Amino acid sequence: MSESQRHETITQLLTERAFASAKELQLMFNVSAATIRRDIDKLHEAGVAQKVHGGIAALDGTPRPRAVSLPFIENRDIAVEAKTAIAHEAASWCATAA
């Protein structure tokens, strides 16, 4: 499979779900970890997807059906800034309640 075919397949996969791990993609395409890292870097640089720890994520606002919850290992690296903002807000509430 060519690089452009892999990129198209990864892009299509990210329309169906929010995250794909590098290991999963490596096994799916039967390529090296370095190849997948380069693919992820190129898709990120092209603005097609977001490079995240452990893999690649769909850009926020990308429409995709919601089927089931993602496993924690995949979900932890999605929307980190939003989760951090929520945590800071919750912490401020706890501090004022004490």
In tens digits, the chain (98 residues) has pLDDT values of 899 999 999 999 999 888 999 999 999 999 999 999 999 999 999 999 999 989 999 987 655 555 456 677 777 777 788 889 999 999 998 877 66
Please report the pLDDT score of residue 87 as a whole number: 92
CATH label, 3-97, candidates 1.10.10, 1.20.950, 3.30.420, 2.40.30:
1.10.10
Q: Helix crossing, 22-29 with 33-45: angle to 10°? A: 110
Please report the pLDDT score of residue 83 as a whole number: 87
Please report the pLDDT score of residue 71 as a whole number: 75
Please report the pLDDT score of residue 98 as a whole number: 61
Residue extents of the structural domains in the chain: 3-97
Q: How many CA atoms lie less than 13 Å away from 44 in the CB half-sphere?
A: 13
